[in-house]
Amino acid sequence: MHPTPLALIVGVIAAFVVSGAGWRLGALTVSGFVAASCVGGVVMGLGGLPFAAPMVVFFVTASAWSRWRTRNSSTTATPRTATQVFANGGAAAAIVLASALVSPKSGPAPRDWFLLYLAAVGFACADTWATEIGSKVAKKAWLVTSWTMVPAGQSGGVTIAGTLAAAAGASLIAATGWAFWAMGSRDLQWRMDAAEALAVIWAALIATLFDSILGAGLQGQYRCARCQRVVEERLHCELPASKMRGTRWIGNNAVNFIGSAASVACAWYLLSSFAWQI
């Protein structure tokens, strides 16, 4: 991607405005606002509208589902921190940055970068939709490593509602990418076909399953001493929680970042092995 100076400035300002709106609405903490401005500045400034649209769709829908999940309940939607923003959007921003720095002669073509970008954002959207909708609709989930029943929303748990939501979220990002493919872009040509869209969606879904496996096996999980719930935090109900399984230094944010990278790798394999062979 090689944006004009004006497009770069407009993109950075737009990212600042969108992030500021998220902070004002309680969807972002102050650190989350700064991080979202940085991630959005890279995406919108360097990528333009085709790259910006899927990221905005993810952010808006994720915030909306989070508010919906906590409506009529004792809990409230938690604003996203800088760590969460980078965990969900860092890989996507890195792809946009790489597409601007790497020459098409020595790396992927602009449209290939865009497809990989859609896979990264598609995973973030699929994972968030699965968590928010699955934990709201279902009461119980299957732990992906043992298929025993656990409370819905627990790391590593999968539900039918969450799986369907993940597919819908990934499909929405692919559809958004298709709809905004060449708008305002001098580099993107030949709108993606059905095989490429399916590769992006499947990559996001496979990475979501991989994310659940990591969540059940490697991510640190603890039992609260007061409410006896299985949680991801070392401190819960103002008391230290006892470690049940997983690794202390691998939290949900690390798992999400790994899942995002896995989605990109999976998309590259599916695209190069199947979609681009048709």
Which residues neighbour 21 within 8 Å (Cβ) at sequence distance 6 or greater? Answer: none
Each residue's pLDDT tens digit, 155-185: 899 999 999 999 999 999 999 999 998 765 6
Instruction: Please choose, from the candidates 145, 125, 128, 116, the residue with its C-alpha nearest in 3D space to the C-alpha of residue 263.
Output: 116
Q: What are phi and psi of 232, to 5 degrees?
A: -100, -10
Lowest mean pLDDT among 61-65, 165-169, 232-236: 232-236
Whether residue 74 has pLDDT greater than 70: no
- The per-residue pLDDT for 12 is 94
- The per-residue pLDDT for 46 is 94
Q: Which string of b and e fits 30-59 if b means at least 16 CB within 10 Å?
A: eebbebbbbbbbbbbbbbbbbbbbbbbbbb
> What does pLDDT average to over the chain?
90
| Alpha helices (H) in 180-273, listed in sequence order | 194-217, 252-273
Residue 222 vs residue 96, higher pLDDT:
96
Whether residue 212 has pLDDT greater than 80: yes
Distance CA 76, CA 81 (A): 15
Percent of the chain with pLDDT over 70: 94
Question: Which domain, by its residues, includes 219?
Answer: 5-277
CA atoms within 13 A on the CB side of 276: 14
**How many domains in the chain?**
1
3-state SS assignment for residue 185 = coil
- The per-residue pLDDT for 248 is 84
Lowest mean pLDDT among 49-63, 72-86, 104-118, 167-181: 72-86
Whether residue 232 has pLDDT greater than 80: no
Tell if the pTM clears 0.95, that is, is over it: no
Each residue's pLDDT tens digit, 190-210: 678 889 999 999 999 999 999
Q: Which residues pair with 247 in a beta bridge?
A: 219
